[in-house]
């Protein structure tokens, strides 16, 4: 790990904190032309059925799916905070990793509060995680070693970062959400730099088997994230006739869209330490539809 680089990141975090309370224009109400999620990121865009939706249904689809996205972030970040809290107990207080993780914890707690407030602001009502998501989330958080959990976290951060970037660059995105994604993007960029630097030490030492395992941990984390957004209940809420059927089509459509839009950075990262090999490549192609 590059200690000077991490010291620099700690310094920025302390000297330029971004407070959701003041950074985000919470009093601004959405204008009629504002949207909540770029159309291309919604699960139905690109389908014939999307063109049959009324403008209100399209807006609502984006609103519900955006809520699902940020509620999932908040849940994942809360789980990761649990891990970081346990992990720093094993490190001396003056250790640079300990000190950075304290900054990350502070920021992640602010993010969770910010996501919650944004959901409230747009009148969202997140659908709870499925039992299988809850089980795997909590199980892996408790029992996986630190290097695997950091691998998981950087993969989720890299993937969700892409998502946020699309959202904040969309011209008519609701300003509260734009600033929320701006803030998140700036702070997550530091977390990503830190985690990559930390993981360099691990991946350099890793042999074939460990690289294979790392690659699988990342793959499952991405699958985990991808399957949290598309929900049958959302199609019911916007009044579609065959929600179950739409759900099936949408899940397949979203897999393709997700692999085309969100995987580039994470593929580059895995490739850097040769995480694609004969044991992993097929799974990335099959499970995630990745071009590797
Ligand atoms: Fe965050
Ligand atoms: Fe983070």
**Domains of the chain with CATH codes:** 34-288 (1.10.620.20)
Cα 246 to ligand 1 centre (Å): 31
User: Any idea which ligand is nearest the CA of 189?
Assistant: 2
Cα of 104 to ligand 2 centre, how many Å? 7
C-alpha span between 214 and 280 (Å, rounded):
10
Q: What is the pLDDT of residue 252?
A: 85
Ligand 2 centroid, distance to 221 Cα (angstroms): 15
What's the confidence (pLDDT) of residue 259?
87
Ligand nearest to the CA of 192: 2
Using the mean position of ligand 1's atoms as its centre, give its distance from the Cα of residue 100 in Å.
14
Ligand nearest to the CA of 156: 2
User: Inter-axis angle of helices 175-205 and 146-169, to 10 degrees?
Assistant: 150
- Determine contact, residues 53/246, Cβ cutoff 8 Å: no
- Asked whether 45 and 171 are in contact (CB, 8 A), the reply is no
Q: What is the mean pLDDT of each run of 10 residues along the chain (292 residues)?
A: 94 96 97 94 90 95 94 92 95 96 97 98 93 89 91 88 88 96 95 92 92 94 86 95 92 86 90 94 94 90
- 229 token code pair: 């957004």
Alpha helices in the chain (DSSP H): 3-15, 20-23, 48-51, 55-88, 96-121, 131-143, 146-169, 175-205, 208-226, 232-237, 243-261, 264-272, 281-288
Give the pLDDT of residue 22.
Answer: 97
Give the ligand whose atoms come closest to the C-alpha of residue 9. Answer: 2
Quick one: which ligand is closest to 74's CA? 1
**Mapping DSSP to helix (H, G, I), strand (E, B) and coil, where does residue 35 land?**
strand
The pTM (predicted TM-score) of the whole model is 0.92
CA of 183 to the centre of ligand 1 (A): 9
Report the alpha-carbon distance of residue 146 to residue 252 in Å, rounded.
Answer: 33
Contacts of 265 (CB under 8 A, 6+ apart): 158, 159, 161, 162
Ligand number, closest to the Cα atom of 194? 2
Output the CA 111–ligand 2 centroid distance in Å: 9
Nearest ligand (C-alpha, residue 184): 1
From the list 262, 187, 267, the residue with the least C-alpha distance to 229 is: 262
CA of 47 to the centre of ligand 1 (A): 32
Distance 184 CA to ligand 1 centre (A): 6
pLDDT at 162: 84
CA of 108 to the centre of ligand 1 (A): 5
How far is the C-alpha of 121 from the C-alpha of 72, rounded, in Å?
Answer: 17
Nearest ligand to the C-alpha atom of residue 114: 1
Q: Is the dihedral of CA 25, 30, 34, 39 positive or negative?
A: positive
């Amino acid at each position: 790990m590059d200690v000077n680089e991490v010291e620099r990141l700690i310094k920025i975090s302390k000297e330029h904190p971004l407070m959701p309370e003041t950074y985000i224009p919470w009093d601004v109400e959405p204008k009629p032309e504002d949207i909540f999620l770029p159309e291309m990121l919604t699960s139905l865009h690109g389908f014939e059925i999307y063109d049959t939706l009324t403008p209100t249904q399209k807006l609502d689809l984006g609103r519900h799916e955006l809520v699902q996205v940020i509620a999932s972030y908040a849940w994942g970040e809360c789980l990761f905070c649990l891990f970081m809290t346990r992990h720093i107990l094993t490190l001396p207080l003056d250790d640079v990793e300990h000190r950075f993780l304290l900054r990350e914890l502070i920021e992640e707690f602010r993010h969770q509060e910010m996501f919650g407030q944004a959901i409230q602001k747009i009148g969202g009502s997140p659908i709870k995680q499925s039992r299988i998501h809850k089980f795997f989330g909590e199980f892996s958080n408790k029992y996986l070693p630190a290097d695997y959990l950091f691998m998981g976290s950087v993969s989720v951060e890299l993937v969700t970062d892409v998502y946020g970037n699309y959202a904040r660059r969309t011209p008519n995105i609701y300003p509260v959400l734009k600033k929320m994604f701006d803030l998140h993007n700036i702070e997550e960029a530091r977390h990503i730099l830190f985690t990559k630097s930390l993981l360099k030490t691990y991946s350099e030492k890793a042999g074939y088997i460990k690289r294979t395992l790392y690659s699988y941990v990342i793959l499952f984390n991405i699958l985990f994230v991808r399957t949290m957004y598309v929900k049958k209940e959302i199609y019911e809420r916007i009044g579609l006739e065959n929600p179950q059927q739409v759900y099936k089509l949408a899940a397949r459509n979203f897999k393709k869209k997700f692999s085309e839009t969100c995987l580039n950075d994470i593929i580059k990262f895995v490739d850097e330490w040769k995480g694609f090999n004969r044991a992993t490549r097929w799974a990335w192609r099959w499970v995630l539809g990745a071009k590797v």
